[in-house]
Structures are given as C-alpha cells and as structure tokens.
Amino acid sequence: MHAVWHALSITWSMTWEITWALILGFALSAVVQALVRKSTVVRLLGDDRPRTLGMAALLGAASSSCSYAAVALARSLIVKGADFTAAMAFEIASTNLVVELGAILALLMGWQFTAAEFIGGPVMILVLAVLFRLLLRERLLRAAREQAERGVAGSMEGHAAMDMSVGGEGSFRRRLLSREGFTSVAHVFVMEWAAVLRDLVLGLLIAGAIAAWVPDSFWRTFFFEGHPLAAKLWGPIIGPLVAVVSFVCSIGNVPLAVVLWKGGISFGGVVAFIFADLLILPILNIYRRCYGLRMTGFLAITFYAATVVAGYVVEVIFGGGGLVPDQADATVPADGVMWNYTTWLNIVFLLLAAALIVRFWRSGGLAMLRMMGGAPTRPDSAHDSDDSDDSHDDHHDHGNHGGQAPT
C-alpha cells in the first residue's frame, strides 16, 4: 500500500506542477481556433510547397495538442481538399509544436527541451515531406483518399468536424471580446480538455508508477548509460519504440519522458520519444480505419524515420553546443503543494478555467460534448439544447459556432 501511495503522490506533484501551464496553453489555442475557420485552413493547405508546409506548421501549432483530435482533424482537412502532405505537417505541428507542450517541457525538464521541440518539430516535417515526395506513389495516395472519404469514424471525429469559430466582421480584438467570442473560446477550451484528459491522466499515472517502482539501475542498463556514443546512437532509435507501446499521446507523454530522462536515455532519445506520440498503437489503428492498411504501414515507417532523424539532429545541435542539461540534475516532482509561484499561478488559471467552464455549461456546451467522439455529422441538435436560458441566443447570434461542420 505504501508503494501505491508513493506512486500517487508523485503523480499528484507532477499534476500540480503543470496545471497552470496546461490551462494557459489550451486557452491560447482556444482563442486562435475561435477566430480562424477550418475552411480557411483547408484553403491554405492546397499543395506541398515549402511555403504551404510552413503555413501548415504555423496553423497546427495554434491548434489542438491531442493526438487523437489532430489525426481526426487532418483526415477532415484531407476530405475537404487539403493536400495530404500538408495535412500531415499540420498534424505533426498540432501535437509537437504547441505552446502547452513547450511550457510543460520547460517546467518539468528545462528550457533546452522546449527549444529542442521547436527545432526538432520542423526537422521532422521537412524529413517527412522529402520522404513523401520520393516514396509516396499516386496510386497509394488515391486509395488512401478514397478510404478517408468513406467516413469510417476513427476517434474524436465529431470533435474534428465541429467549427466553433466566430463569424462576422470586425477586428480580432472586437470579435474576441464579444459575447460570441467568449462563448466560442469557452467551447473550444472545454472540448480540447475533454479530448486530451484521458491520455493526460493515464500518462501521469504511468509516469508516477514507473518513477516509484522501476529502479534507476534498469533504465541505466537499458539506455547504455556509461557508454556515451552507444547511448546517443541508441536513444533516438529506442525512444519512439517505447512511445509506441506506451499508449500515451501528446502532453500525456511528457511525465513519462521525465522518468526516462532521469533514467538515462539520451537527449535526442527523449525528443524522439516525445515526437512519437503519433505512432502509438491506438493511433496506428485509427490510420488503418481512415486510410487503409497499406497507407498505415507507409505512415508508420516514414513517421518513425522522421522522428529518429529529428532526435539525431537535436542531439548533434545541442550536444555540439554544450547545451544538453546534466541528467544528474533531473528530478521527478514529489513535493506536492507548496506556497510558491506555482501555487499562485495555479490559483489564477484555475479561476480562469472555472469561468470558461461555467460559460460552456450555460451556453449549451454539454450537447456538443456528447457528440465529440462520434461520427463527423452536423450536430444541429446542439442548437436546441435547453441546458440554459441563453444557449439558444448565443448559437443564433454567431450561426456556425454551435458545433456545425464547416461549409
């Protein structure tokens, strides 16, 4: 029983350490998604030119941080006409280049890992684009598009089909500060949390259990600690494979990354592990349903190769620049709640989250929440929700905000 409580205490400490950063990241993402329509994203991702891929990365970085939602959204973009390579670049960026991931990495592991995220992510996109250009055949791509258009539901398809952006004219500030803008931000914020919460909790529990129960000596042997060159070569290769069987998606895999780093995996290995959130077994199964078995195999191989290369690149850059932090300084948070800046920031951002949740509840959000894991249909019934007195007025005011699929 003591061992269980020890694992849970580590889980709680990690949770408390990252709470404010998660809320901040999801709030910023909600603001962007509330003001940028999905139809606009599709229009900007029409080919695989470098400029388009750069735009895909920027739009993805401002989008979801949940791997399941990102995969569903990429499929939705492809069906609506976006280029396949650009959609995959968007998918990578929306899980590996998001603000909340960078903030959590900085809090739990150090600024070097945040910098590595924003350097390695574009490298991964570049490598993937080159591999697609050299190896992806038109016949395979056509078959994958046909499978995607059949509408076989993966996960979070209902969420991906919703366009909760604010319509109408006006400046960015005016739309954001309007009643409709506040409602839209609240809806996106809660829906994003609902999409990632399961994996975040699972990741924290797994990390707490491993930190408490698996001895460091096991990890040191597994990651060849004491053999610097072998460890650097082995890390980016084995890191993604550990991620594949971890079943934990973006954000949720950071606590486990802390444990692996403390256990002796190389710097590049940690980065490769984090970037492999789109290769976990449940995601591969979604690829199979969305694009077919052959495209799933192609994506698995190319994504893995891109992840390994990104791991090696950041290892060379940060190792050559003497920027890799000392693993001996790595610690797994275990202090619980203390009166410091983390606690004050958590109080402030928890109040912000509470305000957004209340607005979500009072504006008919529960009807949308029930649809987020379903098929990508038009949830018009959300408009008819009588969960609050003002829900009908809000949805009527900004038309497409109430969870309808974009046109």
- For residue range 345-365, what is the model confidence (pLDDT) as tens digits? 889 999 999 999 999 998 888
Higher pLDDT residue, 395 or 34?
34
User: What CA dihedral angle connects 162, 168, 170 and 174, to 10 degrees?
Assistant: -50
- For residue range 176-235, what is the model confidence (pLDDT) as tens digits? 778 888 888 898 888 877 877 777 788 778 777 877 788 878 888 889 888 889 999 999
Report the b/e string of 266-280 with b at 16+ CB within 10 A.
Answer: bbbbbbbbbbbbbbb
Contact 164, 184 (CB under 8 A): yes
Burial of 146 (0-12, 13-18, 19+ CB in 10 A): exposed
Quote the CA–CA distance of 93 and 52 in Å, as a whole number. 13
- For residue range 117-141, what is the model confidence (pLDDT) as tens digits? 999 999 999 999 999 999 999 999 9
Range in 62-76, 117-131, 267-281, 330-344 with the lowest mean pLDDT? 330-344
3-state helix, strand, coil in the chain (%, to 5): 75, 0, 25
Q: Compute how many other C-beta atoms are within 10 angstroms of the C-beta atom of residue 37.
A: 18
Quote the CA–CA distance of 136 and 359 in Å, as a whole number. 46
pLDDT at residue 232 in the model: 94
To the nearest 10 degrees (0 to 180), the angle between helices 254-263 and 2-35 is 130
- For residue range 147-169, what is the model confidence (pLDDT) as tens digits? 988 866 555 454 445 555 666 55
Name the band, by pLDDT with cuts 50, 70 and 90, for residue 402: very low
Q: Which two tokens stand for residue 86?
A: 């650009």
pLDDT at residue 161 in the model: 52
Rounded to the nearest angstrom, the gap between the alpha carbon of residue 115 and the centroid of all alpha carbons in its chain is 17
Contact 190, 354 (CB under 8 A): no
CA angle 249, 223, 12 (to 5 degrees): 45
Higher pLDDT residue, 28 or 402?
28
Q: Which two tokens stand for residue 355?
A: 């305000």
- For residue range 295-345, what is the model confidence (pLDDT) as tens digits? 999 999 999 999 999 999 999 999 999 999 988 776 666 666 777 777 898
Q: Which two tokens stand for residue 401?
A: 């905000």
